[in-house]
Amino acid sequence: MPHVLRAHGVALLALLAAALGVLGGPANIRAAEFDLVEAHTTTEDHPYTLGMVRYAQLVRDRTGGRVAIQIHHSRQLGDERQVVEGLQLGTIHLTVTSTGPLGGFVPEMNVLDLPFLFRDASHAYKVLDGAIGRGLLDKFDVIGIKGLAFWENGFRHITTSKKAIERPGDLKGLKIRVMENRVHQAAFRQLGADATPMAWGEVFTSLQQGLLDGEENPIPIISTFKLYEVQKYLSLTGHVYSPAPVLMSKKSWDRLPSDLQKIVLETAVEVARVQRSMNRAQEQKQLGELRAQGMTVIENPDRAAFREAMKPVFEQFQGQFGKDLVQRIVNSK
Ligand code: EAX
C-alpha cells in the first residue's frame, strides 16, 4: 500500500529535517498530527476502498497534511462487527461498513434493512442525506461512535448454486447466508429459506464447500469477491437497499480540533456522491462480466411476489421501529 509507505517516508523525512535543524519546511515533509487507522472488509478494487482513497486524499489536502488516513481493506483488521467494536475501543478509528451488524449496536438502524423500503436509489439518497439519515447517524453518539455519512453498498440480489430463483417459493429449504441482522434473517425465513447469519469472511469458503446454497449481496461485492467461482445463478431481486455508513471512533473525533472535525465530516458527506457513482458504474460493468464468467442472470424475477411475501416482516418490524418513522421514509419524495 503506497500511502502507508509514503506515511513512513514522510515520518523519516520529518525526523531528518528536525535533526538537521530545518524548521518550518514545506508542509509535505511533516508527519501527520492525526493518524487515523481505517479498516473495512472489501477488496482493494471495491468502491468502499476507492471511495476511501478519494476521501483520504481530500482530507489530507484540505487539512494541509495534519490528518492522514491509513487504509486497511480486505478484512486485514477483522470482520465488520469486530471493526465497529474497535471503533468503540478506539483501536480502530474509521470504517465504512454495511448495515449488517449495526442493528446490534444501534437498534433503530435496522429500519434501513426493511425489505423493499426504498423505491429506488434516489429515494434512498433523499432519505439518507436528509434529516432522517442524520438522525440515525447521530444515534451512534451514545455508543462511542461519530456517524459521518452514508456511502453505498447497493441493492442486494440473490445468488445460488443449484437452482435459479425466479419467485419466492424457489427459496424453500435452501440454506442462504444472511448478514448478522435480525430483519434480514426474518425476511429470508419468511420466504421459507434456511436463513443462516454469518460474518462475511466465512461466506466464500462455506459456499465453496457446499455448506451454503446461496447468499445475497450487491453486484460489486459478488464480482470483486469472485462469487462466480462458487455460484451459478444471479437473480436481480433488489430486495433491499444497503447503505454503507462511514463511522468514526468518538475518541478520535473528540481529539480533533473543531476546524479539522468540520473538514472530516463535510468531506465524508461530499465523497458520498462520488462513491455512489463509482458503485453504480461498477454495477453496470460487472453484470456483463459475471455473465462472461458463466453466471446465469435472472433479470426479471417476480419482484412483486417477493415484496408481497416479505410484507409480514415489514409489518412486524414496523411496529418495533415506530410506524411513524417508517411512514416518513416511505412518504419521502
Ligand atoms: O459490506 O456482509 C455483507 O454481506 C456485506 O454486504 C459486505 O460484506 C459488504
CATH for 157-240+287-324 (3.40.190.170, 1.10.3720.10, 1.20.210.10, 3.40.1390.10): 3.40.190.170
Is 153 near ligand 1, meaning CB less than 6 Å away?
yes
Is 221 near ligand 1, meaning CB less than 6 Å away?
yes
Is 11-154+243-283's fold the same as 157-240+287-324's?
yes
Q: What is the pLDDT of residue 29?
A: 52
Q: Which of 50, 83, 98, 176 to mutate to test the pocket of ligand 1 (most atoms within 8 A of CB)?
A: 98
Cα separation, 304 vs 288, in Å, equals 25
Q: What is the pLDDT of residue 31?
A: 81
Among protein residues, the one with the nearest Cα to ligand 1's atom 5 is 98
CATH for 11-154+243-283 (3.40.640.10, 3.90.1300.10, 3.40.1190.20, 3.40.190.170): 3.40.190.170
Cα separation, 128 vs 126, in Å, equals 6
Is 181 near ligand 1, meaning CB less than 6 Å away?
no
Cα separation, 29 vs 148, in Å, equals 29
Residue 219 CA to ligand 1 center (angstroms) comes to 11
Cα separation, 79 vs 58, in Å, equals 26
Helix (H) or strand (E) holding 195, with range, is: strand 194-197
Radius of gyration in angstroms for the set of CA atoms belonging to the chain, rounded to a whole number? 21
Q: What is the pLDDT of residue 239?
A: 98
Which atom, in ligand 1's list, is nearest to the CA of 98? 1
Q: Which three cell numbers stand for residue 256?
A: 480533533
Other Cβ atoms closer than 10 A to 21: 6
CA triple 287-282-119, angle to 5 deg: 80
Q: What is the pLDDT of residue 322?
A: 79
Which atom, in ligand 1's list, is nearest to the CA of 40? 1
Q: What is the pLDDT of residue 20?
A: 42
Q: What is the pLDDT of residue 150?
A: 98
Residue 46 CA to ligand 1 center (angstroms) comes to 11
Nearest residue to 219 (alpha-carbon basis) of 167, 154, 272, 124: 154
Among protein residues, the one with the nearest Cα to ligand 1's atom 2 is 200
Which atom, in ligand 1's list, is nearest to the CA of 156? 6
Taking the chain (333 residues) in runs of 10, the rounded mean pLDDT of each run is: 44 44 45 96 98 98 98 98 98 98 96 96 98 98 98 98 97 98 97 98 98 98 98 98 98 98 98 98 97 98 97 89 91 94
How far CA 39 is from CA of 16, 55, 84, 143, 278, in Å, comes to: 30, 14, 10, 19, 19
Residue 31 CA to ligand 1 center (angstroms) comes to 34
Asked if 113 and 240 count as a contact pair (C-beta separation under 8 A), the reply is yes
Residue 201 CA to ligand 1 center (angstroms) comes to 9
Asked if 107 and 183 count as a contact pair (C-beta separation under 8 A), the reply is no
Q: What is the pLDDT of residue 290?
A: 98
Cα separation, 172 vs 107, in Å, equals 29
Percent of residues in the chain assigned helix, strand, coil, to nearest 5: 55, 20, 30
Q: What is the pLDDT of residue 195?
A: 98
Among protein residues, the one with the nearest Cα to ligand 1's atom 1 is 98
Is 225 near ligand 1, meaning CB less than 6 Å away?
no
Tell me the CB-side half-sphere exposure of residue 163, using CA atoms within 13 A: 16
Residue 98 CA to ligand 1 center (angstroms) comes to 6
Is 282 near ligand 1, meaning CB less than 6 Å away?
no
Among protein residues, the one with the nearest Cα to ligand 1's atom 8 is 200
Is 41 near ligand 1, meaning CB less than 6 Å away?
yes
Q: Which three cell numbers stand for residue 111?
A: 429500519
Among protein residues, the one with the nearest Cα to ligand 1's atom 9 is 98
Is 179 near ligand 1, meaning CB less than 6 Å away?
yes
Nearest residue to 45 (alpha-carbon basis) of 224, 280, 272, 227: 224
Q: Is 304 exposed, middle or buried (0-12, 13-18, 19+ CB in 10 A)?
A: exposed
Which atom, in ligand 1's list, is nearest to the CA of 200? 2
Cα separation, 333 vs 329, in Å, equals 9
pTM of the model: 0.91
Domain ranges for the chain, please list them: 11-154+243-283, 157-240+287-324
Q: What is the pLDDT of residue 319?
A: 82
Residues whose CB falls within 8 Å of the CB of residue 75, separated by 6 or more in sequence, listed in order: 41, 200, 201
Q: Is 217 helix (H, G, I), strand (E, B) or coil?
A: strand
Q: Is 281 helix (H, G, I), strand (E, B) or coil?
A: helix
Q: Which three cell numbers stand for residue 278?
A: 463509482
Q: Is 87 exposed, middle or buried (0-12, 13-18, 19+ CB in 10 A)?
A: buried
What is the dihedral sign for C-alpha 100, 105, 109, 113? positive
